[in-house]
Amino acid sequence: MSINKKIIPMPLRYIINAVLFGAFLYIMNHIISSGIISKYYSGVISLIGIYIILAVSLNVATGYLGQLPLGHAGFMVIGAYTSAIIMKSVAAGSTGVAFPFALLAGGILAGVFGLIIGIPALRLRGDYLAILTLGFGEIIRVILLNIDNVLGFTLTNGAAGLQKIPKTTTFLITFICVGITIFAIHTLMKSRHGRAILSIRENEIAAEACGINTTYYKTLGFVVSAFFAGIAGGLFAGYIGILSPSDFGFMKSIEILVMVVLGGMGSMIGSVLSATVLTALPELLRSFERYRMVVYSLILVIVMIFKPSGLFGTYDFSLNSLLDKLILLFKGKRKNGQKNNEIKEGAEK
Amino acid sequence: MSKPKREPVKLVPVPSVNIIPERDVDKTPILEVSHLGIDFGGLTAVDDFNMAIGRTEIAGLIGPNGAGKTTVFNLLTKVYHPTRGTIMLDGRDTGGMNTIQVNKMGIARTFQNIRLFKDLTVLDNVLIGLHNEMDYHLGGAILRFPAYWKAERIAKQRALELLSIFDMQDMAGNLAGSLPYGAQRRLEIVRALGTNPALLLLDEPAAGMNPSETSELMENIQKIRDTFQIAIMLIEHDMNLVMGICEGICVLNYGKVIAKGTAEEIQDNPKVIEAYLGKKKEEN
């Protein structure tokens, strides 16, 4: 096997993806705004988008960087509270304009916390890192649970949480964020910086011997992961309208981790699909209320038994590679056809 | 096994008891190690290690198992920090530097137990070696600036060029972990070359290779030296390889240098025979 030659030239590959994604956004947005889908289901779709961002961002730290952070909900709640507090303070008329900035602020603050926690945490490995990040997530939750005001301003309201957050999260903004997240992480990973992150997962000693600054790239992976988790948190705040610290406990982190592990650590398509399925499944199974957690758990057990590396392993889907293959297949068939004809002609002569 | 053909190199002794090929004599040695030592607790793994390597020399480091050869490599690459002594690379002191800085200054290495990025492709392995040769920044990567495309295109070309030294360019798309053993060892050398070293450290490059692979490797090591004009230092147990290509050889036993010189001198040195080769002769 040699490196596959790319048949579709580079800029075109991006354009194809962008056009298809744009078409998807337009059609879905049209369907939702025209009211064909009930408000409940369109809410579920937004929630799926939020969980896709969470899973894809956690995948950077687990799948690509090879660490096991258990505090992803901690970054999410930082983003959620930041964004919610900003949104509550802006005038009612300008919420639509302010929302992207609120999301960005949430992401940046989560990223800053990622940096603060990342620098000491990433000196540790494996179980130790897991426990430290777990502790971090709990600290954030407990602080938010117990603190009413920050520097004299009543901001977080302690256990009562935040209420009446403007519900500004729509399908469109959620999935634009999904698109940006996936694009940014994809382009990051397919660059020298991304390869450096992967090399740390594969073999840290060899990575250092190749002149890769492992501390920097570990921190980078961690911060990127936290940043997008913060954005997802902001979207979640705008989606749900009410935030209470107890929603962002340890189980939330585990829930996101399960999505990543189930989809395959290191596979973006795996994270996207398993986030979609695992968010939709409990909603779809609502009619058998009593058994839905059983079914959910059973699926996890079965997947782990038969495909321990996750549904997709480290496989990543590329639409253009698929198109490349189809074109090759088509060309190949035509060539084979021509050959067969030549052989036939030869035989006739 | 016949020794590979090469031009005879005239070796001249230099003041510090090292032997350097004549062509390198008037230049600063690429590596100058003096009184290097390291203690692990009460155990002295390496003691008073002195060595100089010429700019285009192929040097050998031999010795019985546990003599401290790999420890010397780990000291040179700052995996361990020396307790005593100095390491001068190209006339600059590497004291206080870490592995990454030393690599950027020009030391690349391979490992005794292969350490490839097994789940990545052969090409990606080499591209990771070329990491510091590319210079586009994070934003440029995410937003796909022209600098990204240019650097990636050049790096890919360079990677394929490097792979072609060992005739491995056709394997570029394979996973590194799926390669046969010998190819994995060769890939590690290619990856190390990617970091653009001035001194290449090879830790048992011929381990697990059959005689024909080994003789091919010998030719390739010389080819690398000739094309890149770099110094190569290797640890090896295969005496055919060491005696065949190494211009200067240093013998280590219990962390101490017991002999230094050309292949002929080493072979005749009673201390070496006693510590190492003597045993082999009795067996034979």
Tell me the chain B residues in contact with residue A312 when contact means C-beta distances shorter than 8 Å. none
One domain, residues B100 and B235: yes
Residue of chain A minimizing CA distance to B170: A2
Most A CBs within 10 Å: which of B142, B152, B170, B203, as the mutation test of the A interface?
Answer: B142
One domain, residues B89 and B211: yes
Please give the share of chain A, as a percent, with pLDDT higher than 90.
Answer: 42
Q: What pLDDT does residue A312 have?
A: 81
3-class secondary-structure state, position B118? coil
Please give the share of chain A, as a percent, with pLDDT higher than 70.
Answer: 92
One domain, residues B172 and B236: no
Closest in A188, A194, A209 to B99, CB measured:
A209
B240 touches chain A (CB under 8 A): no
Question: In this complex, do B100 and A198 lie within 8 Å of one another by their Cβ atoms?
Answer: no
Residue A329: C-alpha distances to residues A316, A333, A337 (Å): 20, 6, 12
Q: How many domains does chain B have?
A: 2
Quick one: CATH architecture of A38-317?
Orthogonal Bundle (1.10)
B18 confidence band (pLDDT: 50, 70, 90): low
Is pLDDT above 60 for B283? no
Q: Of the candidates B139, B166, B195, which is a domain's last residue?
A: B195
Which residues are B271's β-sheet partners? none
One domain, residues B4 and B56: yes
Contacts of A266 (CB under 8 A, 6+ apart): A59, A63, A64, A201, A313, A314
A-contacting residues of B 18-37, CB under 8 Å?
A: none
Give how far B280 is from chain A: nearest CA, Å: 34
A108 confidence band (pLDDT: 50, 70, 90): very high
3-class secondary-structure state, position A153? strand
Residue of chain A minimizing CA distance to B115: A206
Tell me the chain A residues in contact with residue B124 when contact means C-beta distances shorter than 8 Å. 195, 198
Q: Which residues of A9-39 are buried (b: 16+ CB within 10 A; e: fewer)?
A: eeeebeeebeeebeeebeebeeebeeeebee
One domain, residues B209 and B284: yes
Q: What pLDDT does residue B160 have?
A: 92
Closest in B128, B143, B173 to A210, CB measured:
B128
Higher pLDDT, A233 or A119: A233
A212 touches chain B (CB under 8 A): yes
Q: Where are the domains of chain A?
A: 38-317, 324-349
Residue A91 sits at φ, ψ, to 5 deg, of -65, 150
One domain, residues B191 and B205: no
Residue of chain B minimizing CA distance to A216: B100
Is pLDDT above 90 for A52? yes
Q: What pLDDT does residue A179 have?
A: 94
One domain, residues B174 and B208: no
Tell me the chain B residues in contact with residue A194 when contact means C-beta distances shorter than 8 Å. 141
Q: Give the DSSP H or E segment for A107.
A: helix A95-121
Question: In this complex, do B141 and A196 lie within 8 Å of one another by their Cβ atoms?
Answer: no
Tell me the chain B residues in contact with residue A10 when contact means C-beta distances shorter than 8 Å. 149
The pLDDT of A78-85, averaged and rounded, is 93
One domain, residues B9 and B142: no
Tell me the chain B residues in contact with residue A213 when contact means C-beta distances shorter than 8 Å. 100
- B47-81 pLDDT, tens per residue? 989 888 888 889 999 988 888 899 999 999 999 99
- A151-203 pLDDT, tens per residue? 666 677 777 788 888 888 889 999 999 999 999 999 999 999 999 999 999 99
One domain, residues B49 and B155: no
The pLDDT of A59-74, averaged and rounded, is 91
Is pLDDT above 80 for A106? yes
For residue B136, what are the domain limits?
A: 115-195
Q: Of the candidates B146, B167, B195, which is a domain's last residue?
A: B195
Q: Of the candidates B145, B163, B195, which is a domain's last residue?
A: B195
- The CATH number of the domain holding residue B37 is 3.40.50.300
Is pLDDT above 60 for B17? no
Question: In this complex, do A220 and B138 lie within 8 Å of one another by their Cβ atoms?
Answer: yes
Alpha carbon distance A308, A311 (integer Å): 8
Question: In this complex, do B173 and A4 lie within 8 Å of one another by their Cβ atoms?
Answer: yes
The pLDDT of A65-85, averaged and rounded, is 92
Q: What is the DSSP string of A260-315?
A: HHHH-TT-HHHHHHHHHHHHHHHHHGGGGGGGHHHHHHHHHHHHHHH-TT-SSTT-
Give how far B278 is from chain A: nearest CA, Å: 36
A-contacting residues of B 63-92, CB under 8 Å?
A: 77, 79
One domain, residues B72 and B102: yes
One domain, residues B101 and B202: yes
Q: What is the DSSP letter of B281?
A: H
Residue from A111, A114, A106 nearest A71 by CA: A114
Q: What is the DSSP letter of B28?
A: P
Question: In this complex, do A206 and B111 lie within 8 Å of one another by their Cβ atoms?
Answer: yes
Instruction: Quote the tokens at residue B283.
Output: 């067996």
Q: What is the DSSP string of B31-62?
A: EEEEEEEEEETTEEEEEEEEEEE-TT-EEEEE
Tell me the chain B residues in contact with residue A17 when contact means C-beta distances shorter than 8 Å. none
Instruction: Quote the tokens at residue A20.
Output: 């298809």
Alpha carbon distance B245, B262 (integer Å): 10
Indicate whether this complex's ipTM tops 0.90: no
Average pLDDT, chain B: 86
Q: What pLDDT does residue A206 have?
A: 94
A94 confidence band (pLDDT: 50, 70, 90): confident
One domain, residues B3 and B64: yes
- A324-348 pLDDT, tens per residue? 788 888 777 666 555 555 544 544 4
